[in-house]
Chains A and B, each alone.
Chain A
Amino acid sequence: MEIRWGKVSVWVALVAGFLLTLLARPLALSTSPGVLMGGYALAVSLAAAAGWLWGLLGAGVALGATVFLLQGENSGISAIGGLMYFGVVGLVEGGMGMWRRRARGGSRPPNKLDLVYNEVLFEDSPTIVHLVDEEGNVIRRNRASKTTLGWPGRNTLHLSEYVHPEDIGRFRKELRKLFDLGGIQGVELRFISERQHSVPVEIHGRRLSPKRAVLAALDRSEVMELQRKLAEEEARYRYLIEAAIDTMDSGVVLIDAGGKVIWANKAIERFFGIPRDSCIGLPARKVLERLLFRIDNRSEFEDVVHYAYGEGAAVENVECRVRSGLQREERILQYSSYPIENGGRIDHYVDITQLKRLEADLRRKTQDLEEMNRNLKEYDWAVAHDLKAPARTIVSLADQVLKQNPDGILPQDVRLNLELIREVGENMITLIRDLLHFSTIKVDAAAFEPVDLKKVVGAVCRELSSILEGVEVVIQPGLPTVMGIETRIAEVYRNLIQNAVKFNDKPTPRIEVGYEGEQGGLCILYVRDNGIGIREEFHETIFRIFNKLDPESEGTGAGLAICRRIVEEHGGRIWVKSRVGEGSTFYFTLPKARVRKVEEQYVR
């Protein structure tokens, strides 16, 4: 603490003035009131110089008046001395006041406002404020101290009561520093509350006197809590991000603005067999050098990456093939590199090995399919031309011989044989035709149109009217509209109706065409007859090509196979329910027409 020279000088001046006034006569220094007044004026001037203007002015007037009344004599001189005194005091005080104001920047001596400030600052401060002695024991404490630390009823606290036991040593050391040097700043330690809760604080201290100091302690618990939460959040965030990137199937390398690798994920280790710790901190180009050793298409890849690093450009989807190595399989990676906002960049390596493999598989399979399609085309050609031509020639020749040699010229058995040759040849041509038809049935779903089955069945029945003579044909109402190719669907009905008539031994053959409802977007349709029926073991095989059950019947047996092919090409299926002697019902399904289309059709 600084010594207030002003105060000291005031006291010295006052005491000196009084001594001079009182002792002047007994000591016979001088009896002149002027001398007395001069001495007194000197003392008061000194006091005034120290700043106690108004107090001394009052004192001066009172003393001046006393001296004047006491002396009686030489009153004029006394009055002049008193006036001189006022003048001198006024001048000196005015000058000193100006000098002081300049020196102190206009500070004011304490007043009521300062007391309020003190009250507010001290008592109401949210900061704990302790007035302590040199031992660290609290002599006075504010409200914040009471609310934070407890002991509300007490104004004093012992050191051991409010400093955390583990921090007492350190606190003492800081206290010594405070009294030695005059102040301490930002010391972090822990107080302890009445309830033994630890309170982290930051202490600022100021020495008031060799035995007194003020300590302001900021409660840091909230800050600490925030810091703890922040650290926790950050840890979680890092964990999330790093773990997420680490478990990714893509390799990621982060490069800072200076071109150094700041992070690489686990996939990089897996892809290249290089420990990532050995990469972090190295220049990205150096790391790249190491990766390149393991890349097959090194030169082409190197150019691209150097270009990207050099130009700060983005590079996308460059393929690089990584050779297999120790515990490392061969891979095909797709490299991309993007510059990011802060001047760094991110390199990605996406593993596309599996994709490439699948791609190759697919390509091979497509080739196989194309090859097969070519073969099928050739097969169609062979059937249409190479198989058919000789069969036709045989029939044609037999036919020619028969026609050129009318009855009687050829021996009867030769004639019979020639007729047989012609018949067999004709059958063969029919077979070839059916086979070809079967193998070339291709229904293009894109060409599907709404097909009104009422119309189709009606048309087929008219077309087959010659074979339907004497047959009872029942077309159930409610035949729906389906999606498909009309001519193909007509073919299905034509085949089924022909079969129903052909394989019928009843005096009145009966055929029923109907609709049984819908299932999974497919219409269930049927053609029922009262014919000979089909034994159950043939219910599957009849749909195979050229699987003719009755050798005596006409046709090749391709009809049902063609039906199945057409129905399946429409996405449906065909099956039969039958009892021998009672008849058969052929069921098949076709895709249901969408409502909108149907309406359109009706409008048309």
Chain B
Amino acid sequence: MSAEKKLTVLVVEDTKHDYILIERSIRALEEKGIKCELHWVTTGEDALDFLYRRDRYANAPRPNLILLDLRLPGMNGLEVLEQIKKDERLRKIPVVVLTVSELEEDMVRAYDSGASAYLQKPTHTEDFEKLLNTVWEYWQVVRLPE
């Protein structure tokens, strides 16, 4: 990744504890000199408002990676995913599903709807951290349209 490029991540997650772990992982990344910008919403509706820059998200930046939980209050993650992939302007943003669900059906539906990856949240902190680092590494390598 070139120096001027920034990783702008939108985390859609209602479990605060998981968000804290994600945030900590990102901070560690920044300490290594990688430019990162982290945004956090807790509901599907907020996620869409953020992406469409509605109301209080009027000045929101366009993320180049979305981490999406499936279990959310109100609109669930799969519905948010479908909405994103239906929209021509948003469809190019990679969406990584991060969930506790082991249901085959959830995974199939996520990929069918256009998820870039389906990750299952590990129970133990260390495993989770390892997983997040893999994600950051991968998405720094991957080329994305501006």
Contact = CB atoms under 8 A, between A and B. Distances in A.
Interface of A: 380-381, 384-386, 388-389, 392-393, 395-397, 399-400, 403, 425-426, 429, 433, 436, 440
Given A385-B99, A392-B100, A433-B102, A399 B124 contact: yes
Contacts of A429: 123
Contacts of A386: 71
B109 to A, nearest CB: 11
Interface string B18-55: 10010000000000000000000000000000000000
Chain A interface, DSSP helix/strand/loop, else mixed: helix
Given A396-B21, A426-B123, A429-B123, 15 more contacts: A384-B102, A385-B71, A385-B101, A386-B71, A388-B100, A388-B101, A392-B100, A392-B121, A392-B123, A395-B123, A396-B124, A400-B125, A425-B123, A433-B102, A440-B104
B17 interface: yes
Contacts of A399: 123-125
B102 A385 contact: no
B79 interface: no
A530 to B, nearest CB: 36
A66 B105 CA distance: 148
B20 to A, nearest CB: 9
Interface of B: 15, 17-18, 21, 70-71, 99-106, 121, 123-126, 128
A95 to B, nearest CB: 125
Contacts of B128: 396
Nearest to B106: A384
A388 to B, nearest CB: 5
B35 to A, nearest CB: 27
Contact of B103 (A381, A389, A397, A426): A381
Give me the 4 closest cross-chain CB pairs, A-B, nearest first. A385-B71, A384-B101, A400-B125, A388-B100
A403 B125 contact: yes
A429 B101 CA distance: 11
Contacts of B101: 384-385, 388
A436 B102 contact: yes
B17 A384 contact: no
- Which among A385, A386, A388, A397 has the greatest number of chain B C-beta atoms within 10 A? A385
Contact of B71 (A389, A436, A440): A389
Contacts of B17: 393, 396-397
- Which among B17, B106, B121, B124 has the greatest number of chain A C-beta atoms within 10 A? B124
A384 B123 CA distance: 14
A385 B123 CA distance: 13
Contacts of B103: 380-381, 384, 436, 440
A384 B102 CA distance: 7
A393 B124 CA distance: 9
A43 B10 CA distance: 158
B118 to A, nearest CB: 13
